[in-house]
Amino acid sequence: MGAGSNNQEVPVLKSRIAPTPSGYLHRGNAFSFVLTWLLVRSAGGELLLRIDDADSARVRPEYIQDVFRCLDWLGLDWDEGPESPADFTKSHSQQHRFDHYNTLLEVLKDNGYLYACDCSRSQVRMHSKNGIYQGSCRELELSFNTKGAAWRIKVPEGNICFQEAGQEERCLPLSQEMGDFVVRRREGLAAYQIASLADDIDHRISLIVRGKDLLYSSAAQVFIASCLANQTKHIELQQKAILFQKASFLHHPLLLNEKGEKLAKSAGSTSIKSLREAGGNPLPIYALVAEFLSLPADAAASLDSLLKAVRQTKVLETLFMTGS
C-alpha cells in the first residue's frame, strides 16, 4: 500500500497505532489508541497498526497477543497492518526491515550527519550534570567501524519546529534536551528514532498521536527527516521525508497513577489485561477521551456515540485547520 507507491498524494489523514510490546498495555495506551481511531475515522482517513518490536530483547509473545486483545476489547479496527499475532510475526515485524533502517543510516552517514562515539553511559554521566551527551567525540573522526561504538547525529543549536495540532507551530530546543542523540546503538541496531521514522515515512503517515512525554522524540524524528530531505542522491527517500515534514502531531496529556506517576506497562491493576480479565468494559476509557475532546459526558456511552459526537462538533477543524 503506502510503502510501495511513488504517488505523492496522501489520504486526508493517515495515522498509526504503534505500541511497543515491552509489557502489558495500560489505560494510557488505550486512551491514545481510541483518540487516534476517532480522529482518523471522523476524517475518513486510514489507520495503520504497527507494532514496534525492533528491540527484540524486550519483546515477548504474550505482549504481542495483548495488543490484539486490547484493540478488540476497545472495539477498534484498522485498515492496514497485521491481522493476528501470527500474521504480524510472518509479514509485519520490524525484524524484517533492518536492511531498510540500515539504508537510512548509511544515507545519513554518507551525507556527513553522523559520527562514531565510543563513550560509555558512565562516561556520559561523568561529563554531564544533566545526563545529556556533550559531543565529546564529535570532532574526533573515529572510524564508523570502531568496535563497540554507537553512531550519533549532529544536532545543531536552536529550535526544531513542527506542526502541533491546534497550534500554529511548536518549536523545541532539541540540542539542549537530547544533545547529539544515538541513531545506531553500539550493538549495531538502529535506534528507535530511526526505525519509527523509517516506518512513518514509508507509510506516508500524516498524523502522529502520542503522549507529551514523547515531544522530543517527535522533534528528533522531524530533524532526521529534514536531513533526509536535504540530500539529493536518493530521490524517493527525499520526497517521503519532505512529506513527513508536513505531518501534524498531537501530544496528549499522560494518564497518571494514584501517586501522580506516569503509568508503566505491567500486569498490575492499571493494565488493560487486568481490567479485561476482571470483566471491565472500555467505557471509562471512552469517558477520558470524551473529556479530553470537550465532548458531552453522554457521548462516551459507546464507541459509536463517541464517533458521532466528534463528527457533529468542530473537533477536527479546531485541531487541524489552525495554521494550515
Domain membership flag for residue 278: yes
Asked if residue 5 has pLDDT above 70, the reply is: no
Domain membership flag for residue 140: yes
* Chain centre distance of CA 299: 28
Domain membership flag for residue 5: no
Is residue 156 within 8 A of residue 175, CB to CB? The reply is yes
Asked if residue 322 has pLDDT above 70, the reply is: no
Query: CB burial class (10 A; 0-12, 13-18, 19+) of residue 78?
Result: buried
Confidence (pLDDT) at 11 = 52
* Residues 20-38: tens digit of each pLDDT: 999 999 999 999 999 999 9
Domain membership flag for residue 90: yes
Mean pLDDT of 44-55: 96
> In the chain, pLDDT over 70 holds for what percent of residues?
94
Q: Calculate the average pLDDT of the chain.
A: 92
Task: Grade residue 250 by pLDDT with cuts at 50, 70 and 90.
Answer: very high
Task: Grade residue 266 by pLDDT with cuts at 50, 70 and 90.
Answer: low
How many structural domains compose the chain? Answer: 1
Dist CA 158 CA 284 (whole Å): 41
Q: Dig out the grid coordinates for 233 from the structure.
A: 542522491
Domain membership flag for residue 3: no
Provide the CATH number for the domain around residue 66. Answer: 3.40.50.620
Confidence (pLDDT) at 9 = 52
Burial code (b: 16+ CB inside 10 Å, e: under 16) for 3-21 equals eeeeeeebbebbbbbbbbb
Mean pLDDT of 111-119: 97
Domain membership flag for residue 295: yes
Domain membership flag for residue 1: no
pTM, 2 dp:
0.92
Question: What is the residue range of 47's domain?
Answer: 10-320
